[in-house]
Amino acid sequence: MSGGRALAEMLRINGAGPIFGMAGFQLLPYYEGVRRLGMEHHLVNDERVGAFAADAYARLTGRPGICDGTLGPGTTNLVTALVESLNAGVPVIALTGNTHRGHSWKNMTQEARQVEILRPAVKELIRVEAVERIPELVRRAFSVATSGRPGPVVLDIPEDVAHAEHTFAAGEFFADAATARVPARRPRPDASEVERAAALLARSRRPLILAGGGVHLSEAHDALLHLAEAAGIPVAHTLSGKGAIPCTHDLSAGLFGRYSRYANELIESSDCLLVVGCKLGEIATKRYTLPRPGTPLIHLDIVAEEIGRWAPTRVGLWGDARAGLSDLATALESATPTDDRSAYRDEVRERRSAWEAEARARYESDEVPINMGRLVGELNEAMPEDGILLADGGFASHWAGLLYDTKRAGRGFVADRGFASIGYGLPGALGTALAVRTDDGSAPPVVSITGDSGLNMTIGDLETARRAGTAFTLVVVNNAASGYIKALQHAVYGEGSYQSASLIETNYAELARNFGCHGHRVEHPDDLAPALKQAMATHDAPTVVDVVVTRDPGQMLPGVDNRTLQVRPGDRPV
């Protein structure tokens, strides 16, 4: 068979789901293999969309998402989305066509130094130099993508390797079941370090758990909830960690970092922090001002070098989140707590009640144009327990991360915070809808929030979503601006000081109908609930709900962005 056919065979054997990409001559034998094997492949209109869709599919299923791109621009278009997957720890396998090796560096059409470009954007780049090694190297790609902290892998295939014919032994075509999904393997933290961590937690009066996206990657939700409930420890989360425990749970302290309900105050007063699957990056730490110096820190992470990267760590637990939390819960059973922490838990409940009273005005706002808080409040009411909300990069993720409530543990909320690139909203919804689809029509509703800037980047793939037979709700936060940029310019330089931040007024509902999808334009808050209900009940095509929100840059963010606190009027931002 051809090398391309062997690639397709190995993807099929490894249980590949829908594949997203755009063909070129180099990968034609692979496309022919996909056709002959009856595999599911979706032509996209931009390769970045395909990689984003593969990323979302992987987050929801735990199985590597698959995408492809041809030589040169097809391959370089993948870079932004692959960095998202790399930074977020999402398993993706990207197939890239490359030049015929007999003619490389003779100015072949679309030739580029794509291997050098792609290598730092992925966990590993595997160059396929011999057709007979394809089965082995595809297995290697799955193993790397799903082991340790998951991540994207590129299989770079020269034209002559893809087109070459080879007689394979049947026994070469097999898959390693252990690497079919994440986490492929579960290393446990050192037992003595677990005991140290348990003793530290038992002595603390105000412990707090900070949960990141690693909780989802490890499927550690039950283990986290068991430990939190058994020890009575509240849980705060990052944008990527939302859903680590249900937001509606009594022990949920909500989002922490740049925007916070009341978790930041709990972090400030905590005497022990347990960080689980969280890199403690800029957003989560409010530009490295949290936690306060001297707070005892226990850090559980699958990547050893994340432990103590910048925050002094008292106890480092190197291992899988679920395994580590289970071991820690067992160790705590025999540890004697300092007290029952009842006063602390009462304080957490009081803070929660006070925040809910303060937030009610946003959730119930009657402002016209529509307040973002009211939009998220309506989503809280409309979304069932098993519903999945995606949030594009930029302020859509911050508003939803702060105000949206997941009702059960798990991936009920997805935000592309690995790279925070806008443009994820539409392709993320496409990949998610394909991930959760069912034969009987009982799939949970998929709703994605994107900005008008984000949708402008990827709107051509509404055609892809319609062609793929998906049905999801795409909520467009329409403020006729690149909202985050305009809001920051307003905060730093003052009213009227805007440069390259405004868009023309566009009716995205009308555009959606032109693509053969459904569209609703909402200009009054009382029309939100019926529009969302109708959109979520539509199953024959995607629906765009175009929501006209405030044009006031001073009201575009959930609160003052912490970066603006470092600038004085007249200063340049830092």
Asked, for residue 356, whether it belongs to a domain, the answer is no
Taking residues 374-383, report their average pLDDT.
98
Taking residues 419-436, report their average pLDDT.
97
> Residues 248-272: pLDDT tens digits?
999 999 999 999 999 999 999 999 9
> Residues 323-348: pLDDT tens digits?
999 999 999 998 877 677 889 999 99
- Residue 566 — very low, low, confident or very high, per pLDDT cuts 50/70/90? very low
Q: Last residue of some domain: 295, 314, 349?
A: 349
- Residue 549 — very low, low, confident or very high, per pLDDT cuts 50/70/90? very high
Does one domain contain both 418 and 479? yes
Kindly report the CATH number assigned to the domain that includes residue 48: 3.40.50.970
Does one domain contain both 297 and 379? no
Checking 480-485 for CB contacts under 8 A at 24+ apart, the result is 480/452, 480/504, 480/505, 480/506, 480/551, 481/452, 481/453, 481/551, 481/553, 481/556, 482/451, 482/453, 483/394, 483/395, 483/451, 483/453, 483/553, 483/556, 484/394, 484/395, 484/556, 484/557
**Torsion sign over Cα 177, 180, 183, 185:** positive
Taking residues 441-458, report their average pLDDT.
96
Whether the predicted pLDDT of 571 surpasses 70 = no
| Element spanning 548, H or E | strand 543-548
Predicted pLDDT at 338? 67
Nearest of 504, 511, 497 to residue 543 by alpha carbon:
511
Whether the predicted pLDDT of 167 surpasses 60 = yes
Statement: the pTM of the whole predicted model exceeds 0.85? yes
> Residues 176-221: pLDDT tens digits?
999 999 999 999 999 999 999 999 999 999 999 999 999 999 999 9
Kindly report the CATH number assigned to the domain that includes residue 282: 3.40.50.1220
Burial track 356-372 (b if 16+ CB lie within 10 A, e otherwise): eeebeebbebebebbbb
- Rg of the chain (C-alpha set): 24
- Other C-beta atoms lying within 10 Å of the C-beta of residue 551: 16
Asked, for residue 149, whether it belongs to a domain, the answer is yes
Nearest of 345, 375, 327 to residue 525 by alpha carbon:
375
Does one domain contain both 343 and 215? yes
Residue 285 DSSP SS3: coil
> Residues 101-159: pLDDT tens digits?
999 999 989 999 999 999 999 999 999 999 999 999 999 999 999 999 999 999 999 99
Q: What percent of the chain has pLDDT over 70?
A: 97
Burial track 191-203 (b if 16+ CB lie within 10 A, e otherwise): eebbbbbbebbbe
Q: What is the DSSP string of 300-333?
A: EESSGGGTTSSS--SEEEES-HHHHHHHHHHHHH
**Torsion sign over Cα 86, 79, 391, 181:** negative
Does one domain contain both 141 and 283? no
For the chain, give the mean pLDDT.
Answer: 95
Separation between Cα atoms, residue 86 and residue 63, nearest integer Å: 15
Nearest of 192, 448, 180, 201 to residue 332 by alpha carbon:
201
Asked, for residue 357, whether it belongs to a domain, the answer is no
Does one domain contain both 58 and 38? yes
Predicted pLDDT at 559? 74
Does one domain contain both 169 and 214? no
Separation between Cα atoms, residue 140 and residue 126, nearest integer Å: 9
Does one domain contain both 172 and 205? no
Predicted pLDDT at 563? 60
Taking residues 19-29, report their average pLDDT.
96
- Residue 562 — very low, low, confident or very high, per pLDDT cuts 50/70/90? low
Does one domain contain both 370 and 512? yes
Whether the predicted pLDDT of 37 surpasses 60 = yes
List Cβ neighbours of 256 (8 Å cut-off, separation of 6 or more): 210, 236, 237, 238, 263, 264, 267, 284, 290
Q: What is the DSSP letter of 272?
A: E
Whether the predicted pLDDT of 30 surpasses 70 = yes
> Residues 270-306: pLDDT tens digits?
999 999 999 999 999 999 999 999 999 999 999 999 9
Asked, for residue 197, whether it belongs to a domain, the answer is yes
Whether the predicted pLDDT of 564 surpasses 90 = no
Residue 23 DSSP SS3: coil
Does one domain contain both 255 and 394? no
Q: Last residue of some domain: 349, 377, 393?
A: 349
Asked, for residue 574, whether it belongs to a domain, the answer is no
> Residues 381-407: pLDDT tens digits?
999 999 999 999 988 999 999 999 999
The parent domain of residue 532 ranges over 364-566
Does one domain contain both 344 and 409? no
Q: Last residue of some domain: 129, 156, 179?
A: 179
Asked, for residue 358, whether it belongs to a domain, the answer is no
Separation between Cα atoms, residue 520 and residue 527, nearest integer Å: 10
Predicted pLDDT at 574? 31
Does one domain contain both 288 and 330? yes
Asked, for residue 571, whether it belongs to a domain, the answer is no
Asked, for residue 184, whether it belongs to a domain, the answer is no
Please give the tally of structural domains in the chain. 3
- Residue 560 — very low, low, confident or very high, per pLDDT cuts 50/70/90? low
Does one domain contain both 107 and 221? no
